């Protein structure tokens, strides 16, 4: 994979284990692989894409389609079940885009409001705020 890309995602998959009862998690640890007390729910399967340096990307889709899961994997707040994630540089994700926005606004207006907010944040960042 080339370093010409800021983000490289190759064949990402994420599986969640859903247990009927909380105690089944403990029982599963004791049983190991001998018996499966959970149901596998695949949030992502076979996702592959590349983002070039300087590009901005938005991820859209229906509820439950894996958007937040994908962003959490890219920002390294969640580990993928399978696949490869390569990040060259810093990545920032606007998770939960709807938080704090006006409910009566239409989608396009919300995007404009968020873009304006994000632009202000980036100006502050570039002027030395949040320096690591």
Q: What is the count of structural domains for the chain? A: 2
User: pLDDT of the chain along its 132 residues, tens only?
Assistant: 557 899 999 999 999 999 999 999 999 999 988 899 999 999 999 999 999 988 888 888 888 899 889 989 998 889 999 999 999 987 766 655 555 555 565 666 666 776 676 666 555 555 554 444
Residue 90 to residue 92: CA distance in whole angstroms: 7
Q: Give Rg (Cα) of the chain.
A: 19
Supply the range of the domain harboring residue 17: 5-95
Assess whether 102 and 91 both reside in one domain: no
Assess whether 90 and 108 both reside in one domain: no
Token couple for 116: 């304006």
- pTM value is 0.67
């Amino acid at each position: 994979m080339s370093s010409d890309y800021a983000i490289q995602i190759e064949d990402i998959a994420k599986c969640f284990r859903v247990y009927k009862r909380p105690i089944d998690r403990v029982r599963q640890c004791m049983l190991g692989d001998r018996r499966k007390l959970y149901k596998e729910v695949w949030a992502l399967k076979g996702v592959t894409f590349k983002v070039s340096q300087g590009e901005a990307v938005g991820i859209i889709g229906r509820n439950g389609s894996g958007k937040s899961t994908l962003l959490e994997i890219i920002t390294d707040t969640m580990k993928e079940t399978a696949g490869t994630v390569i990040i060259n540089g810093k990545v920032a994700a606007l998770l939960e885009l709807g938080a704090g926005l006006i409910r009566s606004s239409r989608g396009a207006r919300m995007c404009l409001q968020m873009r304006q907010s994000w632009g202000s944040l980036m100006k502050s960042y570039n002027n030395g705020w949040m320096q690591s």
